[in-house]
Amino acid sequence: MILETISVCPICSGESFNSVLVTRDYTVSQKEFTLQECENCKFLLTNPRPNQASIAQFYQSDKYISHTGGSRSLIDQVYLQARKITLHSKFKLIKKYKKVGTLLDYGCGTGQFLHHMQSRHWVVDGVEPSDNARNMAHQLTNQELYNQLSAISKKFDVITLWHVLEHVHNLNEKVLELKSHLNQDGIIFIAVPNYESADSKKYGTHWAGYDVPRHLWHFSKTSMIKLLSKHGLQLLNIEPMKLDSYYVSLLSEGYKYPKSIGLIKMMSAVISGITSNKSAALSGQYSSLIYILKQA
Ligand SMILES: [Zn+2]
């Protein structure tokens, strides 16, 4: 593994960072990674981090379900059920902004979302760097998919990133590249974990939303809006992903209490999820947030 250190903040170009938390890769390598905060704008990042050439080894796990599509454990079953519900709520959310049209899912994984949108008469394209996941998505959608954005020359009515932007090495370049693929009246939906949520505060270093080193960036509302407005994207709305608090709590329970039995973990996660969503009803700090933007 080759580590690289970020010395310039991608949001404000600040050059001073403070280490604020040490957390662990609980799913693949069990290695520790440090989260640093930009002294100027408070942007939180995994620093140092594996470089682009060596990050792939951290996705090599049966547990990385969004790439394998497999399912065995109780937690995986819960994830798959939740995903069904989430697919439909994503469709309903998009429909509020665009009735139908062309859609690019950037980081489409095994293609379930593309498939759902196809069934709702959307014309879809997808980008997915993992060969395995992309092949599965191809089987499901019967659609030619791409391993990178630069292979696509057209523009889209809607671009979606469901828990993807936090995985992208070259943040500013990627936002600009995505924007260049958005129609003038297009809408972009970006979902990311929110470390300012109550479940993040509860689990701290065991919070599954940190998911180091795969998550390179950790967004707050402030940092996300700064990043996107810098590149000429205007915020229309922020929507919660209410199921994520339960799923993230369930994973976090497992990281914090590895010997705890499944049923106990489930019960604790339900309580934690309810508590997090309840507090977010007042603060707006849900476990995951969807940022909805248009060209400024
Ligand atoms: Zn900064």
Q: What is the pLDDT along the chain (296 residues), one digit of tens a residue?
A: 899 999 999 999 999 999 999 999 999 999 999 999 999 999 999 999 999 999 999 988 665 555 555 556 777 777 778 788 899 999 999 999 999 999 999 999 999 999 999 999 999 999 999 999 999 999 999 999 999 999 999 999 999 999 999 999 999 999 999 999 999 999 999 999 999 999 999 999 999 999 999 999 999 999 999 999 999 999 999 999 999 999 999 999 999 999 999 889 999 999 999 999 999 999 999 999 999 999 99
Ligand 1 mean position to 187 CA, how many Å?
26
Residues 6+ apart with CB under 8 A from 236: 97, 187, 292, 293, 294
Ligand 1 mean position to 2 CA, how many Å?
24
SS (H, E, C) 30-72: CCEEEEEEECCCCCEEECCEECHHHCHHHHCCCCCHHHHCCCC
Ligand 1 mean position to 15 CA, how many Å?
8
Ligand 1 mean position to 44 CA, how many Å?
9
Ligand 1 mean position to 210 CA, how many Å?
19
Ligand 1 mean position to 16 CA, how many Å?
8
Ligand 1 mean position to 195 CA, how many Å?
17
> What is the structure's pLDDT at 230?
96
Ligand 1 mean position to 79 CA, how many Å?
34
Ligand 1 mean position to 160 CA, how many Å?
25
**Residue 43 near residue 11, CB atoms below 8 Å:** yes
Ligand 1 mean position to 45 CA, how many Å?
10
Chain centroid offset of residue 64 CA: 13
Confidence (pTM): 0.94
Ligand 1 mean position to 18 CA, how many Å?
11
Ligand 1 mean position to 267 CA, how many Å?
39
> What is the structure's pLDDT at 80?
79
Ligand 1 mean position to 175 CA, how many Å?
17
Ligand 1 mean position to 8 CA, how many Å?
8
Ligand 1 mean position to 264 CA, how many Å?
40
> What is the structure's pLDDT at 79?
74
Ligand 1 mean position to 223 CA, how many Å?
8
Ligand 1 mean position to 73 CA, how many Å?
40
Ligand 1 mean position to 140 CA, how many Å?
41
Ligand 1 mean position to 91 CA, how many Å?
34
**Residue 60 near residue 49, CB atoms below 8 Å:** no
> What is the structure's pLDDT at 62?
62
Ligand 1 mean position to 35 CA, how many Å?
14
Ligand 1 mean position to 118 CA, how many Å?
39
